[in-house]
Structure 1
């Protein structure tokens, strides 16, 4: 027990050194022309060291924000702004998906062509099945990159057992608990699986979460890019590694939104009901649509 406590606080203290070293020596993990540098990036992206840098940063920001509440409100606005900005942009992928499906139907059923050619001069010509399977990627963009945006907008389905019956401050306490003990741990767990799952389909030899930095340093001598380009059908979409990148992006955004939600819940609980929805940037359908909005 004592050893665990000592290990925990040692890693928090080392987080300041690790962060400073990474910032002052970017070539050691960002110079991907160097095999050892790339392998260090892969290792530290899913390492205990990286976890404690993020965790310690969260503790420092939270402590300062509790002292200066306006700073914490600023963090909320920035983090929710990121979620809203990314979500509003990639929500257009839904429209692209519909338009591309219409084009596929016209080309395949009306013009009876086996390919769709896009561009001028050396145009991009791909089989109909490639474009059809690519529709999954548009759907993945919406699901992965609009999840945090939907959370900010209050669009996720909620199962309410006791929430509506408790006081305003009790609701915010529940929200704080959910952020810390549900959203953040799940995001961290998914990140750990998704990070190495991604890199196993980008480089060879394969990397694993159980590999030590010493083992990965030895593997770096034979490290090569091996990007997955195999589709489910011979002429189908062959960029499935992009889905694995989206999983990592999704978990990162969920973690950031968990921080924003924790901060907002803390501040609203502290300031009372008059701060409910303070600085909250939610979409509106415009004047005259209030009744419709209230049903969603």
Structure 2
């Protein structure tokens, strides 16, 4: 195998490793989300009390899990496809679908989201935006930053998926390798 193909395989493995680590770490936040929602319900219905900060914390955990781990879901093949067709395809056909889908769907959508949200996030950082609710969390700018984290991680994993498909189409990698 030439140096170019090895470099691509190394880059794909590096991105995959980063995505795996992030996905596993973010998976731990599911427990924190469940606990925070449980506490919100407990406070509201058993103690007739509430906490805006705790409610917002649950929202922050949800956003972190959803936006942060989307690239992990992509790596695991968990995003939406028309599986009734995709599952019947051979490895090369799947590689073509993945390659073209990444180029013409994933990349443009991620770039559009990044472009449209950049000013939104920048303005939030400029004013160090806080919760509009009394007792809310003072970190809205960090919450909004997760949109750009989503874009970057999805683009990175998209690059890995694209090049994995190229490697398969070039006969340089079998699906079991990736």
TM-score (norm 1): 0.54
How many residues matched? 178
Please give the alpha-carbon distance, in whole angstroms, between the structure 1 residues aligned to 2:43 and 2:86.
52
Partner residue, 1:77: 13
CA offsets, 1:97-152, max 9 Å, x none?
Answer: 11123334444554x385xxxxxxxxxxxx71221222111100111011010111
Greater helix fraction, Structure 1 or Structure 2: 2
Asked if the contact 1:194/1:247 (under 8 Å) is kept, the reply is yes
Partner residue, 1:243: 143
Please give the alpha-carbon distance, in whole angstroms, between the structure 1 residues aligned to 2:45 and 2:108.
48
Query: Deviating runs (4+, > 6 A) in structure 1?
Result: none
Quick check: which has more Rg, 1 or 2?
1
Structure 2: 5+ residue stretches without partners: none
Asked if the contact 1:66/1:72 (under 8 Å) is kept, the reply is no
Please give the alpha-carbon distance, in whole angstroms, between the structure 2 residues aligned to 1:247 and 1:188.
12
**After the TM superposition, which residues 15-26 of structure 1 pair with which residues of structure 2 at under 5 Å, given as runs?**
none
How far 1:67 moved relative to its partner?
A: 5.5
Q: Given the alignment of the two structures, is residue 257 of structure 1 paired with residue 152 of structure 2, yes or no?
A: no
CA offsets, 1:175-221, max 9 Å, x none?
Answer: 11111121112111111112211011222xxxxxxxxxxxxxxxxxx
Q: 2:105 aligns with which of 168, 175, 182?
A: 182
Greater strand fraction, Structure 1 or Structure 2: 1
CA offsets, 1:65-123, max 9 Å, x none?
Answer: 9852121111111111111111111121111011123334444554x385xxxxxxxxx
How far 1:276 moved relative to its partner?
A: 1.1
Q: Secondary structure at the match of 2:135?
A: coil
Of structures 1 and 2, the one with the larger relative CO (CA 8 A, separation 6+) is: 2
